[in-house]
């Protein structure tokens, strides 16, 4: 006879043993206890920044059978799935859109598990548990961003509506070298990549890769200086603190990979990637000065070359960016799921999503028709 299932909420992931949580996270670095703890311990994601944690836990007897990271959001910043038009529509009709519940990795448009459970039935229970929590809190909606494919059917079964988006990911088809990768591209795209790389090389720029134990505090200091500069140029404070990167460096050292660009031994730019399993995720970058082509080389081409050398299967290049296609990253459908409390708005949003999904499918088809690779005969 199966044990009784209980679902409850905690406001801190520290209440869950890391080993129990990480079994459910299934190796995804951004769903790991250590990564989420760093977000909260350093107060990057906290009630003060508009990310109040509501961690939904499902226990079967004494066993942790499921979990769903949730946040009570007072804004839509740091999400990368845009719902500002929905918020405006609520406001125009005299209704409150915020606070809302969000299941996502703060400030990180990365795919991964959001319903952390071993079975479809348990994932459905978690999704429905979130709806019950939303009703108790009297919030307008729930939004689940960039879930893994295994979550989608469970979310649909629990009454959520799906929204399609697109990112650009690179896949390793067993390339033995970067030159072999380039040889598979069309003549025009291959020529463009070579020209861009030559322009960076002619400026005297060289690159170093630091991974795991090679990353030290000095390298992180330089990275953070570059990262902070990127935000400063857009007149915004950075989402993440230096302390956050210190903590993940201490607790997840093998996950960090830095690409450092130098000229004559002087450091110029840096990109930080997260590596786990067979996948690398491009996350943050910055530079001390402008060099034509430096951004694409540091963030994408060096990342692809690193994956080829280290036989990683894929490279997720982050949110948005059609320009990434010319560098060999291809359009990949991503998803979000949404539950709306007000039935009138739920109906209107459902109709909108039907139209938007059809348009997004056409957009992805059009992008795929302009592949940077040679046509296979």
Q: What is the DSSP letter of 376?
A: P
Contact 338, 143 (CB under 8 A): yes
**pLDDT at 1 (0 to 100):** 42
User: Which tens digit of pLDDT belongs to each residue from 294-330?
Assistant: 999 999 999 999 999 999 999 998 877 788 898 899 9
Residues of the chain falling short of pLDDT 50? 1, 377
Strands (E), 240-372: 256-263, 266-276, 279-287, 314-319, 330-340
C-alpha distances in Å from residue 5, one per residue of 14, 17, 58, 61, 67: 21, 19, 7, 7, 13
User: Which tens digit of pLDDT belongs to each residue from 273-295?
Assistant: 999 999 999 999 999 999 999 99
**pLDDT at 51 (0 to 100):** 96
Whole-number Å distance between alpha carbons of 86 and 142: 13
User: Which tens digit of pLDDT belongs to each residue from 66-120?
Assistant: 999 999 999 999 999 999 999 999 999 999 999 999 999 999 999 999 999 999 9
**pLDDT at 376 (0 to 100):** 63
**pLDDT at 4 (0 to 100):** 87
Domains of the chain in start order, with CATH, are 5-167+333-368 (3.40.630.30), 173-312 (3.40.630.30)
- Relative to beta strand 330-340, strand 141-145 is antiparallel
Whole-number Å distance between alpha carbons of 241 and 228: 9
pTM to 2 decimal places: 0.95
Residue pointed to by tokens 């390339």: 175
**pLDDT at 18 (0 to 100):** 95
């Amino acid at each position: 006879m199966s044990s009784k299932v209980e679902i409850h909420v905690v406001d801190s992931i520290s209440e869950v043993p890391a080993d129990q949580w990480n079994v459910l996270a299934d190796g995804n670095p951004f769903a790991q206890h250590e990564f989420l703890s760093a977000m909260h311990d350093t107060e990057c994601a906290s009630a003060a920044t508009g990310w109040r944690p509501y961690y939904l836990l499902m226990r079967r007897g004494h066993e942790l059978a499921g979990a769903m990271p949730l946040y009570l959001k007072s804004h839509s910043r740091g999400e990368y799935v845009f719902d500002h038009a929905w918020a405006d529509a609520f406001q125009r009709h005299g209704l409150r859109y915020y606070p809302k519940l969000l299941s996502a990795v703060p400030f990180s448009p990365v795919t991964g598990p959001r319903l952390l459970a071993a079975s479809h039935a348990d994932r459905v229970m978690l999704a429905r548990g979130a709806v019950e929590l939303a009703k108790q809190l009297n919030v307008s909606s729930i939004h689940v961003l960039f879930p893994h494919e295994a979550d989608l059917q469970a979310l649909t079964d629990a009454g959520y509506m799906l929204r399609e988006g697109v990112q650009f990911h690179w896949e390793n088809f067993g390339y033995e070298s970067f030159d072999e990768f380039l040889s598979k591209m069309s003549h025009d795209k291959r020529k463009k990549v070579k020209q861009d790389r030559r322009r960076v090389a002619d400026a005297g720029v060289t690159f170093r890769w630091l991974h795991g134990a090679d990353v030290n505090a000095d390298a992180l200091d330089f990275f953070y200086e570059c990262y902070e500069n990127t935000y400063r140029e857009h007149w915004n404070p950075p989402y993440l603190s230096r302390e956050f990167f210190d903590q993940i460096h201490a607790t997840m050292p093998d996950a960090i990979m830095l690409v450092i660009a130098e000229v004559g031994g002087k450091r110029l730019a840096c990109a930080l990637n997260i590596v786990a399993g067979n996948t690398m995720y491009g996350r943050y970058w910055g530079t001390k000065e402008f060099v034509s082509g430096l951004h694409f080389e540091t963030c994408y081409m060096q990342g692809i070359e690193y994956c080829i050398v280290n036989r990683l299967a894929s490279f997720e290049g982050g949110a948005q960016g059609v320009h990434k296609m010319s560098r060999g990253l291809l359009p990949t459908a991503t998803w979000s799921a949404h539950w709306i409390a007000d039935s009138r708005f739920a109906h209107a949003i459902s109709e909108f999503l039907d139209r938007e999904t059809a348009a997004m499918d056409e957009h992805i088809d059009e992008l795929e028709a302009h592949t940077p690779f040679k046509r296979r005969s």
